[in-house]
């Protein structure tokens, strides 16, 4: 049952990011190293300004990204829908959380501890490679989206 | 080939890679020597491979829509560039790369990176790519914030001038009425 669940999550992620070189079974095995759980609406996954020690795969549901404005009031940066990866940046460059992440509804997530993330990052296995490629594709997608927003704003400003 | 392997094994990037893996990596890549001033990547070309700079220095340039050339940065020995070519199908080069000195690059193709998943040299490159992407995302986010602030300011200035002219109009109307 658990294996089937992770394989479905892996397939959904590979489909979303149009990743063709990874087999879902390998990504599923990497994902199964995390902790699958359901969180209620309003649950805070991480707080802006705190140390980064976990990353998450949003399986199903939505997570709101909030950042404090100049008056200290939390403002929505964006809404992230599953399947998606969040929180990996802080584990990669050791920076503090740049925004808070709050479940906008009942959400299923996979939580990866810092040690589990770094172990997959350097693991000499096909499952480790599948995880690294998933992280890379997610980040390339993120960078392209931001660059598109920048391109549109340059024309406006 | 052994010379290139020796050169790479001295880089901190490959500190955890075994010599055998590094040699297999070098053998699978296409080494390309270049001269100062040579064009290595043209803006708009198909992105089908990445390049790893073994020696030399490169300039990254962007041609704007008004045909002006902007220098975006430099690539130094031990750095990877054009890495989106390894992951994005039918992607295009977003900038051009010109040699600032004589040197050598290794051409990395998609098939090799996807096949050699357990090669320690490839793992080192993947980790570097992830770190480079994180840096680029941080920079892009910062640029986006600056532009969004500028946009907000440019929206505020016209509305202030609109109210100023309305106030002047009212003042002259009151003056006429009295």
Minimum-distance CB partner of B134 among A89, A124, A156? A89
CA distances to B159, B163, B176 from B173, rounded to whole Å, are 21, 15, 5
Instruction: Supply the pTM of this predicted model.
Output: 0.82
Find the residue in A nearest to B91 (Cα): A144
The DSSP 8-state label assigned to residue A37 in this structure reads E
* CB-CB under 8 Å, A153 with B151: yes
* CB-CB under 8 Å, B89 with A136: no
In this complex, is the C-beta atom of A25 within 8 Å of any C-beta atom belonging to chain B?
no
| Residue A131 CA neighbour count, 13 Å, CB half | 29
Instruction: Please identify, in words, the CATH class of the domain defined by B2-140.
Output: mainly beta
Per-residue confidence (pLDDT) for residue B159, from 0 to 100: 62
Q: Which residues of B touch A95 (CB under 8 A)?
A: 138
In this complex, is the C-beta atom of A133 within 8 Å of any C-beta atom belonging to chain B?
yes
Minimum-distance CB partner of A124 among B118, B131, B154? B118
Peptide bond connecting A83 to the previous residue in cis, omega within 30 degrees of 0:
yes
Backbone dihedral angles phi then psi of residue A124, each to the nearest 5 degrees: -90, 55
Per-residue confidence (pLDDT) for residue A94, from 0 to 100: 93
* CB-CB under 8 Å, B126 with A133: yes
How far is A122 from chain B, CA to nearest CA, in Å?
Answer: 7
Per-residue confidence (pLDDT) for residue B14, from 0 to 100: 92
pLDDT of A94-148, one tens digit each? Answer: 999 999 999 999 999 999 999 999 999 999 999 999 999 999 999 988 888 888 8
Would you give per-residue pLDDT tens digits along chain B (178 residues)?
A: 668 899 899 888 999 999 999 999 888 888 899 999 999 998 888 888 889 999 999 998 887 777 777 777 889 998 888 877 677 666 788 788 999 999 999 998 877 777 788 899 999 999 998 998 898 889 888 888 888 888 888 776 666 666 666 667 767 766 665 5
Query: Quick check: B103 and B88 in contact, CB under 8 A?
Result: no
How far is B81 from chain A, CA to nearest CA, in Å?
Answer: 14
Domain of A19, in residue numbers: 2-156
Q: What is the CATH number of the domain that holds A139?
A: 2.60.120.10
User: What is the tally of structural domains in chain A?
Assistant: 1
Query: Quick check: B109 and B48 in contact, CB under 8 A?
Result: yes
The overall longest dimension of chain A from CA atoms, in Å, is: 53
How far is A142 from chain B, CA to nearest CA, in Å?
Answer: 7
The domains of chain B are located at 2-140
Per-residue confidence (pLDDT) for residue B161, from 0 to 100: 63
């Amino acid at each position: 049952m658990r294996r089937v669940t992770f394989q479905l999550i892996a397939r959904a992620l590979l489909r979303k990011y149009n990743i063709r070189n990874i087999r879902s079974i390998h990504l599923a095995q990497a994902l199964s190293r995390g902790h699958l759980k359901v969180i209620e609406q309003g649950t805070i996954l991480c707080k802006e300004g705190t140390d980064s020690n976990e990353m998450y795969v949003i399986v199903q549901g939505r997570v709101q990204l909030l950042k404090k404005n100049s008056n200290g009031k939390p403002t929505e940066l964006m809404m992230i829908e599953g399947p998606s990866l969040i929180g990996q940046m802080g584990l990669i460059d050791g920076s503090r959380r740049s925004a808070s992440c709050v479940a906008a509804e009942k959400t299923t997530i996979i939580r990866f501890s810092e040690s589990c993330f770094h172990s997959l990052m350097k693991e000499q296995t096909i499952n480790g490679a599948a995880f690294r490629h998933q992280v890379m594709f997610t980040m390339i997608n993120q960078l392209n989206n931001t660059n598109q927003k920048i391109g549109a704003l340059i024309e406006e400003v | 080939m052994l010379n290139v392997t020796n050169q790479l094994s001295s880089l901190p990037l490959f500190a955890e890679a075994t010599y055998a893996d590094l040699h297999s990596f070098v053998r699978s890549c296409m080494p390309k020597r270049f001269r100062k001033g040579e064009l290595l990547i043209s803006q708009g070309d198909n992105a089908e491979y990445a390049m790893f700079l073994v020696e030399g220095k490169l300039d990254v340039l962007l041609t704007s829509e008004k045909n002006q050339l902007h220098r975006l940065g430099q690539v130094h020995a031990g750095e990877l560039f054009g890495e989106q070519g390894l992951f994005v199908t039918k992607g295009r080069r977003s900038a051009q790369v010109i040699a600032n000195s004589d040197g050598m690059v290794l051409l990395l193709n998609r098939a090799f990176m996807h096949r050699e998943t357990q090669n320690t040299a490839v793992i080192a490159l993947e980790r570097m790519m992830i770190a480079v992407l994180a840096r680029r995302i941080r920079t892009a986010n910062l640029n986006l914030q600056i532009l969004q602030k500028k946009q907000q300011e440019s929206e505020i200035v016209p509305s202030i001038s609109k109210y100023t002219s309305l106030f002047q109009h009212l003042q002259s109307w009151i003056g006429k009425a009295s």
